[in-house]
Amino acid sequence: MPVARGGRAVVGGMDGAAAPYIFVFVEPDAVGAESERSGRASESLGITAPVLTRKVAPAYPDEARQDKVTGVVVLQLLIGTDGKVHEVEVLQDPDPRLTKAAVEAVKQWEFEPARDKEGKSLSVKSSVTINFALK
């Protein structure tokens, strides 16, 4: 999908009904702005988004399950040039127990890193939504 300079697009997917959503925010540099190699992925510049290769499902904390706590945890990840999660920022925290479980899981995730049009690995930020629901 083309993205105008300075525009924004979201590329996302879901791997199964109970899996977390994965979104990559794409914001190309404005005209005249210095390009950052550790910046955001941009399809319009020939940059590919990271691809999840190893996913660890978060464990529903027993205490939260017993208390019937549910909610959606939203995290922003910094995925490094090595495909590993280097930073996790909590954007939405419905309950500290759920958030802790989500953070512990995504820190173990691995990706095929984002790449520029020459194939060089890039660091990118990606948002992940994890839904904790009781069945």
Mean pLDDT of the chain: 79
pLDDT tens sequence across 8-45 = 555 555 455 545 555 555 454 444 344 443 344 455 67
pLDDT tens sequence across 51-91 = 999 999 999 999 999 999 999 999 999 999 999 999 999 99
CATH of 9-132, one of 3.40.50.150, 3.30.2420.10, 3.20.20.140, 2.120.10.30: 3.30.2420.10
Question: pLDDT band at 47, cuts 50/70/90?
Answer: confident
User: Stretch 90-117: mean pLDDT, rounded?
Assistant: 96
Q: Which residues pair with 77 in a beta bridge?
A: 88, 126
Spell out the domain ranges in the chain.
9-132
pTM above 0.75, yes or no: no
Quick one: 132 exposed, middle or buried, by C-beta within 10 A (0-12, 13-18, 19+)? Answer: buried
Nearest of 133, 131, 111, 132 to residue 122 by alpha carbon: 111
